């Protein structure tokens, strides 16, 4: 293989991102150590030192695992590209499958399968060692294996045809603007998935039962009426089947929208706190955060595909990343692997917008429910999920899509 200028740009971007991620991890670890022996001001009455230290230990354990994941994933990326693994796999399938679209589809699926197998040990460790150690894991080996096969099945049913369609358009080359057709297909696929997910895909993994708490249901119904929202139903999900972490979400688009509470969340909250949490979720819809994120995603994918439309014609792009022969499927995979390396630098701006949305949703909730109820529910969530109350400011600015508990509660007060 031959190195070119792009090879060195790629290597510089990888080195910069890895060093930045490790530096942020070390800052976060130091921040946890510095606050380990004292509960942050304002939380001493609601959070015990024992719980605060458990959150610190949990955060440090996740950081340690993330150190290995960062380094390991970087090595794997370099093996796929500059190491020639992808080029060898491309040659292997090229000698066995004549049809270029079918060959490209098999190539992409092979990459996905191998990547999943590589990530499997980390997933097993995260679930059965790390989460188990801190008392969060409820998943059995049978459930874990069952989820794995369900994901494979859904990939074959949903993703396989999508990849084939994308590569068909790229190979057929309707014109130089094939990437516009691909963008339309991906956008439509995303919208359809958002619509079908609540009713058809989520129930494959979890059970969803209608909320049977009459008092809470009455509260929620009144909240929906006074805020002008409607939903396809209020459901309780058996989240305790996999984890003791609690959560709630509002999912779907159009008329196919659902309010979903984890059963673990309902067990630890009062009805008025659940109402406040839901009001926060409704705040996202009131401010059209879902639509804004969707539009941002579509714009980003449009720009990305336009860039791919240019790169697919450039030999330096392929040669600089270890591929000897230009092809649509190689371009698609290379671009998918390389894009996160360079988009890494815009991550803080994306999370900044997300944190702004969280503050807006909190304000909406405070205007339709008692702010103190939202505060107490947030404290319980941070406590039950062992979330850090004192993250490093730079780590949080880069990684966190939600503001820290301290900042959210200060705003609410």
Give the span between the Cα atoms of 251 and 262, in whole angstroms: 13
Is the sign of the CA dihedral 76, 127, 131, 340 positive or negative? positive
Whether the Cβ atoms of residue 136 and residue 243 lie closer than 8 Å to each other: yes
What one-character-per-residue DSSP string does 324-356 give? SS--HHHHHHHHHHHHHHHHGGGHHHHHHHHHH
Q: What is the pTM of this model?
A: 0.91
Q: How far is CA 198 from CA 99, 182, 193, 204, 226, in A?
A: 37, 25, 9, 10, 25
Respond yes or no: is residue 29 known to be catalytic: no
Q: Any residues with CB less than 8 A from the CB of 94 and at least 6 apart, and which?
A: 103, 325
pLDDT reported for residue 233: 77
pLDDT reported for residue 333: 97
Whether the Cβ atoms of residue 404 and residue 389 lie closer than 8 Å to each other: yes
Residue 9 φ/ψ, nearest 5 degrees: -65, -45
From 29, 90, 273, 281, active-site residue: 281
Respond yes or no: is residue 362 known to be catalytic: yes
The torsion of the CA quartet 73, 74, 76, 78, rounded to 10 degrees, works out to 160
Q: Show the tokens assigned to 42.
A: 């304002």
How does strand 248-253 pair with strand 256-262?
Answer: antiparallel
Is the sign of the CA dihedral 199, 202, 204, 210 positive or negative? negative
First to last CA, the chain: 61
From 358, 362, 373, 384, active-site residue: 362
Whether the Cβ atoms of residue 194 and residue 293 lie closer than 8 Å to each other: no
402 Ramachandran zone, left/alpha/beta (phi>0; psi -120 to 50): beta
pLDDT reported for residue 66: 97
The pLDDT profile of the chain, 413 residues, written as one tens digit per residue, is 678 999 999 999 999 999 999 999 999 999 999 999 999 887 888 899 999 999 999 999 999 999 999 999 999 999 999 999 999 999 999 999 999 999 999 999 999 999 999 999 999 999 999 999 999 999 999 999 999 999 999 999 999 999 999 999 998 754 678 999 999 999 999 999 988 888 899 999 999 999 888 888 899 889 988 888 877 778 999 999 999 988 888 777 766 677 888 999 888 799 999 999 999 989 988 898 988 999 999 999 999 999 999 999 999 999 999 999 999 999 999 999 999 999 988 999 999 999 999 999 999 999 999 999 999 999 998 888 889 888 999 999 999 999 988 889 989 98
């Amino acid at each position: 293989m031959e190195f070119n200028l792009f090879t060195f740009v790629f290597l510089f971007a990888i080195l910069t991102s890895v060093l930045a991620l490790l530096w942020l991890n070390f800052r976060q670890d130091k921040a946890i150590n510095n606050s380990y022996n004292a509960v942050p001001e304002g939380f001493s009455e609601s959070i015990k030192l024992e719980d605060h230290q458990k959150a610190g230990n949990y955060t440090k354990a996740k950081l340690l695992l993330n150190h290995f994941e960062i380094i390991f994933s970087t090595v794997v990326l370099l093996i796929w590209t500059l190491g020639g693994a992808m080029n060898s796999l491309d040659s292997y399938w090229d000698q066995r499958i004549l049809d270029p679209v079918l060959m490209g589809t098999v190539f992409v699926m092979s990459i996905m399968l191998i990547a999943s197998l590589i990530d499997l040990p980390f997933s097993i460790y995260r679930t059965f060692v790390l989460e188990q150690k801190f008392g969060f894991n409820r998943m059995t080996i049978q459930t874990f294996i069952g989820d794995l096969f369900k994901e494979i099945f859904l990939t074959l049913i949903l993703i396989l045809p999508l990849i084939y369609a994308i590569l068909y358009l790229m190979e057929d080359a309707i014109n130089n603007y094939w990437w516009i057709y691909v963008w339309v297909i991906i956008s439509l696929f995303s919208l359809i998935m958002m619509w079908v997910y609540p009713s058809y895909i989520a129930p494959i993994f979890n059970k969803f039962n209608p909320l049977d708490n009459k008092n809470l249901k009455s509260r929620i119904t009144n909240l929906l009426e006074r805020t002008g929202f409607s939903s396809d139903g209020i459901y309780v999900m058996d989240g305790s089947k996999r984890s003791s972490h609690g959560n709630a979400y509002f999912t779907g688009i159009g008329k196919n929208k659902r309010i979903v509470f984890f059963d673990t969340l309902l067990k630890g909250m009062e009805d008025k706190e659940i109402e406040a949490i839901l009001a926060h979720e409704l705040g996202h819809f009131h401010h059209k955060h879902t639509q804004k994120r969707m539009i941002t995603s579509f714009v980003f994918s449009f720009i990305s595909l336009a860039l791919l439309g240019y790169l697919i014609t450039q030999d330096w792009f392929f040669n600089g990343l270890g591929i000897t022969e230009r092809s649509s499927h190689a371009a698609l995979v290379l671009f998918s692997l390389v894009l996160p390396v360079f988009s890494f630098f815009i991550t803080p701006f994306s999370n900044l917008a997300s944190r702004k949305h969280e503050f807006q949703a909190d304000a909406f909730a405070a205007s339709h429910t008692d702010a103190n109820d939202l505060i107490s529910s947030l404290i319980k969530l941070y406590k039950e999920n062992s979330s850090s109350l004192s993250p490093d400011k730079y780590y949080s600015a880069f990684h966190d899509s939600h503001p820290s508990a301290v900042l959210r509660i200060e705003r609410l007060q």
